[in-house]
Amino acid sequence: MSEARAEILNRIALALDGVPSAVASMPGAERPQEVPRAYRADSEVATGSAQALEILVDRLVDYRAVVHRAASECDIAGVVAEVLSDAGSLVYPDGLDPAWLSKLPASVVTHEDSLTAPLGVMELDAIDAVLTACRVAVADTGTIILDGQPDQGRRAITLVPDTHVCVVYAQQVVHLLPQAITQLALHPTRPQTWIAGPSATSDIELNRVEGVHGPRNLHVIIVGG
């Protein structure tokens, strides 16, 4: 194996040297140089502003996600209870704010999941819904990003149940993707899941159909703003 490694690296070095290449120094060859970065890295749309939220909601609705609003922190539990009133069972990550679950009807059976006490795949498959927080959301692209921290949980819990309810604080909503990447780059090696709407496919005649393997229902609760 290390033999292959050495040979590939050697082949690359030779190729880049322009060595016995009949076409070396052909006009039209592209050369390395400083990367121009004129794209929008920042935005005049303030993070968490009404405008940012409006754009996010527009995108999410376009992707057939269902958007709910909670006026403040203390309204989250009420909205969660309303959204999940029909769910028979719910899984949540161990780092979730327990207050969010405080108003759930008794009919909803809850399961806690953690890195140290993970639920099995089959157990997850039997659970209706999952409730998590998120790391950051991008208004421009309608993307909610999870980075596996204790309030978001293992990647499997937001994948197997058919309904994902995600709480997004207004202050977490940036306008553009580069603004989110700046935050994510603080911990780039965390496992990340970027979510833009429920599972979908465009494989049949290139028309988008919602709901294939991932959660078929995505509910987003926006807090404040």
Which residues 169-208 are close enough to bind another protein by CB under 8 A? 177-178, 180-182, 184-185, 188-208
> Segment 101-120, which members bind another protein (CB under 8 A)?
115-116, 118
Return the bridge partners of 201, or none: 209
CB 194 within 8 A of CB 143: yes
**Strand boundaries in 34-160, DSSP class E:** 66-70, 89-93, 109-113, 129-132, 136-138, 143-146
DSSP 157: G
Contact residue for another protein among 48, 161, 215, 224 (CB under 8 A): 215
Q: Show the site string, 79-98: x = touches another protein by CB under 8 A, - = not.
A: --------------------
Which of residues 37 and 72 has its CB atom nearest to another protein in the complex?
A: 37
CA-CA distance, 204 to 195, in Å (whole number)?
A: 21
Q: Is residue 212 within the footprint of another protein (CB under 8 A)?
A: yes
Q: How far is the CB of 101 from another protein (least distance, A)?
A: 22
Count of beta carbons in the 10 Å neighbourhood of residue 181: 15
Contact residue for another protein among 35, 44, 72, 106 (CB under 8 A): 35
